[in-house]
Structure 1
Amino acid sequence: MTDAAGALKQAMTSIEGAIGAALVDYNSGMALATLDGPGGLDLNVAAAGNTDVVRAKMRTMDMLGLQDGIEDILITLTSQYHLIRPLGGRTGKGLFLYLALDKSRANLAMARHQLTRVEADLEV
């Protein structure tokens, strides 16, 4: 099992093209842990902004009566991928992993797979 800082370090080192990662509380919009790389992203701003994305999707699912869970949310920019992965399990409720990737260096399928492994090892 890995703590938040270790999980983000694992994401940044094991996922090709990673330029920033955060563990975020979507109830407050606050980043509990961040680790930036060569992307120069303001991960606290990203945490707050992506909290709105998660909340909007959850609200929409509720209005549609969907009982399904969110596996991940992908935002594709011209030069980047942004992955949002709400945590499952009893201790992960209300948290999500955020990962920004350089699109030219990342393999999206592998990044999603690796982020799933990071989540499985994470203990909060």
Structure 2
Amino acid sequence: MTTTTDQALARAMRIEGAIGAALVDYNSGLALGTIGGGAELDLSAAAAGNTDVVRAKMRTMDMLGLKGEIDDILITLTGQYHVIRPMTAPGTEGLFFYLALDRQKSNLAMARRQLEQAEKLLREV
């Protein structure tokens, strides 16, 4: 994991209510870096499972002929938010940020904005 990846993941974990974050290659399903999670959340399993979510959405967009890119995919659970943010900047294609948040401790709108800022760290390399 590169220093820039470490910095981006650390920034994501500073988002209020963050449980865990990962940078994932959706071609392989492997997490290139993770932070947090622990007993509450297996980030390797989440990376692999959410790879299927990203691939399915991209296939659906293709089948429907939808243009544009995915800003993020939100999965709302009873106690958590899971935010998937595919990256599109040159050199980051095929990657996505994954962030799990405690629903009671987070502000979803602010978290989405802050995750975008964490992503910018990777685009600046």
- Give the TM bin, normalised by the shorter chain: over 0.9
1:114 equivalent in structure 2 = 114
Sort the Cα spacing of 1:5 and 1:86 in 2 relative to 1 into closer, same or farther, 3 A.
same
1:12 equivalent in structure 2 = 13
Matches within 5 A, 1:64-83: 64-83=64-83
Q: Specify the SS of the correspondent of 1:47.
A: helix
- CA distance in 1 between counterparts of 2:42 and 2:21 reads 10
Could you give the per-residue CA deviations for residues 47-100 of structure 1, whole angstroms, max 9, x where no partner exists? 000000000000000000112100000000000000000011111100000000
- CA distance in 2 between counterparts of 1:103 and 1:76 reads 9
Q: Specify the SS of the correspondent of 1:3.
A: helix
CA contact (8 A) 1:72 1:84 kept: yes
1:29 equivalent in structure 2 = 29
Sort the Cα spacing of 1:81 and 1:39 in 2 relative to 1 into closer, same or farther, 3 A.
farther
Runs of 4+ in 1 over 2 A off after TM superposition: 37-40
Matched length: 122
Q: Specify the SS of the correspondent of 1:4.
A: helix
Equivalent residue letter for 1:4? T
Deviation at 1:8, TM superposition (A): 0.5
Name the Cα RMSD after superposition.
Answer: 1.4
Q: Specify the SS of the correspondent of 2:40.
A: coil
Structure 1 residues without counterparts, runs of 5 or longer: none
2:100 equivalent in structure 1 = 100
- CA distance in 1 between counterparts of 2:56 and 2:74 reads 14
TM-score by length of 2: 0.93
